Structure 1
Amino acid sequence: MYINVLEQGLLTTVQDLGRTGYQQFGVGATGAMDDVAAKLANLLIGNDENDALLEITVIGPTLRFVQDTLIAIAGADLSATIEGERVPRWKPVFVKAGTVLKFGRPKNGCRAYLAISGGFNVPIIMDSRSTYLRGGFGGYKGRALQRGDMLQMNNKYSKLTQQLLTYFHNQRNTTPFITVNWTIPPSISKYVENKDAIYFIKGPHFNHLNVEATNEFLTTTYTVTPNSDRMGYRLNGVPLKLSKSLQLLSEAVPVGTIQLPPDGQPIVLMADRQTIGGYPKIGYIATIDLPRLAQFMPGEKVKFKEISVQEAQVTLAERDRVLTLVQNGINLAIRRMC
């Protein structure tokens, strides 16, 4: 069965958690910009956390469901409605056949994730279903969604998904969708609206900034520019200068690398980054804050705060522990419903 794309939105792509192990061949990792929201959207409806789902940027699509479908929306609040009724985020939602899902004005955050029961049925290329826009492969025909596309659904469901579907079928009524009376803890989802300083770890060339630039990077507020995208967040603020010019060889760059091009305006490399880079690397976004940075809209202000490698590891380990508890809680809530 299919989901019909009536309107494509600004940028809607099929993603999963990424394509790892191929950067040595020049193939980027891609995957969801906000992996926390993507994981939770899938887990809320009993999917595997790596199942293919839609990443929706700022202005969402309009979709018609041909069959009864279980969905979950996580991440940014993009004013989702079904037949004019607001759809809650961070919950499993049973959508009836023939209904239309629309997204409206963004209220907070930049990217929402739409998971469907069983995930989207798109080809696995290099161990991933994620769309690599610059390479023109993966996801749905290697591109963003367009009006008239028909997205195939995977009708192989996990036991948890089958239990949810059975529960909702037994609760059918005249409303266009049905949801549940539980959700994940707000303390887990509040990061989407959190605009506090982004944690970073000093990079190998941070100490090559001159004295003024070192202070400016730690105190300046930068603006996310409109030409930021899945490849990189381009920032605008006080230009940073090096104490002396550097001649660098290109080398591998991980997600979150903060590069300093000749104009002195930092670029943060994101999910669709190139595999190597030759600009000075003044820092790396701490992994725990990559999902939060992905929710910053163009025009919003961002500041940076230094964190040590050890502190970053501890906070990430704690977050992963909490997410495991949330997953166990979701599984338990689903089992108790049936």
Structure 2
Amino acid sequence: MDNTTTKMIDTTPSKHEWYQEAKDNAEAVDFELTNLIYDHLKKSRLDYRGFWNHARQISDMFKTINPLLREDRQQLWDRFNEIRDQVRERGEKERRLCQEHSSKIREKVEKNLEQAQEIILSAEGKEPLRKAKSLIDRTTGILKKEQNATRKGLSADPPVDPIGTIEVRMAREDVELCWRFVRKIRETLKEKRGLILDRNYSELSQEGSQAVENAQEKDPYVALESIKSIQDRLKNSWVTREQREKLRDLLNGAWQIAIQRVEERRGERKRQHEEWLQRMTDHLQRWESLFGKNEQIVADLREQIEKLENDVENSINADFIDRAKNWIGEKKTKILDIERTNRDLERKIKSVKNKIGRAKNSREHDYAYLPSDSSENSSDEQV
């Protein structure tokens, strides 16, 4: 009875129970090892800190877990070491790739900025500086992409690794170095821009001052042409808005001086007006004569076309019909050309008559406001 009682209250696990518990423990460790990587992949990227914290917990687990078969412990430990070695190698690979990537981007940025610097230093006008700025902007776009990736801990262009995606990004110190270079180049661009603007302003200002002197002391008509030439150049010159306004004020002052002197030379203006009127009258006579001749030519061509069309209708000669049709087409084309010429002549005749009418009704004939005959002085179209 005593022996039976002793067996019933004995809490020592049986060999089978111990073995089963050891296997359960092995499965628990195996489960943790399986999750060691996958639990720390965030959007396909490995969380190293989380991985190594978890690895320390598993290492402690090996120290405290019991029972565990020796062969299971060894196999699990070997697997644990293999995983850690794999992640350690991956980390070293990632650091190496980051260094290579960072150096590559830094070299590219430095090359672009050095090229921009060369363009800036040799620039003499707006377009080279615009080209340099475009190159700087493209380079800063690369930097911003890398900087955003670095801030977020992401890869700008991530390669794939068996354990998730490798985080390849620029080193912060390289990003900061590149931005310092960008700021330096931008300052160089700003300085060169200021130098060119000041040079352009200085050149135009000197010419404007000379125009004032010419308007005061020399031929006012030459001064007016000089002022207009400078004004035309000013339209396309690269200067600041403030500089442009100063130049306009300077040229407007010179213009007023020249106009005042022109007013004092009415006899010359009258002669010039009469010459202009004679030129316009000559143009008018020539164009009206040409217009009449052209109309007669058109009438003759229409008669010729009508005769050819009758000949075509009455002919049975295929070769003649083909040639006649070609003649008809050529004559119609010629009529269109002549009519186009006459329309242009009509426009010119009307324009000149209007100008002559306005000039005759005007009491004052100012050279500065004399109608231009440049548009009416083109070569007559010959038929």
Check whether TM > 0.5.
no
Greater percentage in strand: 1
Greater percentage in helix: 2
Q: Which has the higher contact order (CA 8 A, sep 6+)?
A: 1
- TM-score with structure 1 setting the length: 0.16
Based on CA coordinates, which of the two structures has the bigger radius of gyration? 2
